[in-house]
Amino acid sequence: MKSNQLPVSEYAPYYASYIQALDNVELIEELEICVHEFIKFVQNIPMDKFDYRYAEGKWTIKEIIQHLIDAERVFSYRAMRISRNDMTSLPGFDENYYVENTNANARNLQELLTEMAIVRQSSLSLFKSFSEEQLKLIGTASNSAMSVRAIGFILIGHQKHHQKIFQERYL
């Protein structure tokens, strides 16, 4: 399935900018490709930028990478639960608390990127395991309807959103 074929009824309006910014990408293919593009992009950022904050209270690049890892774990868990026809309403999470309680800035950049690649590989394996019927299943997360396939596109769009922020505000 391609991102432009995803009905808006399958995700909350909050995620529309992530999905609509995708350039008509195919779900599985882009999940695989975009993480490699992101890692290559990050590896070309000057080392003195990884602990930089463009404004008071904003996250560093390392914190954002950790945020991407944490969010991917949460969203993949949601996808797995919904794909198994578990219709329990899944709670949201406060990304700021997550970042405040990480050790991202003390971590080695390569450790973060390796973890990101491993988490994406796990997500990719999960999404490859879904049948067409499972991808279309809709559950509730953060008080909004969300399909399994929308979650995959959100993962891609979320990553690309933060890469764009790096380019615009950190470099």
Give me the residue spans of the domains in the chain. 3-170
CA dist 39 and 122 (Å) reads 16
Residue range 105-150, pLDDT digits in tens: 999 999 999 999 999 999 999 999 999 999 999 999 999 999 999 9
- Comparing CA positions, the residue from 18, 2, 10, 11 lying closest to residue 159 is 18
CATH no. for 3-170: 1.20.120.450
Residue range 77-103, pLDDT digits in tens: 999 999 999 999 999 999 999 999 999
pLDDT of residue 1: 87
CA dist 152 and 22 (Å) reads 12
CA dist 78 and 80 (Å) reads 5
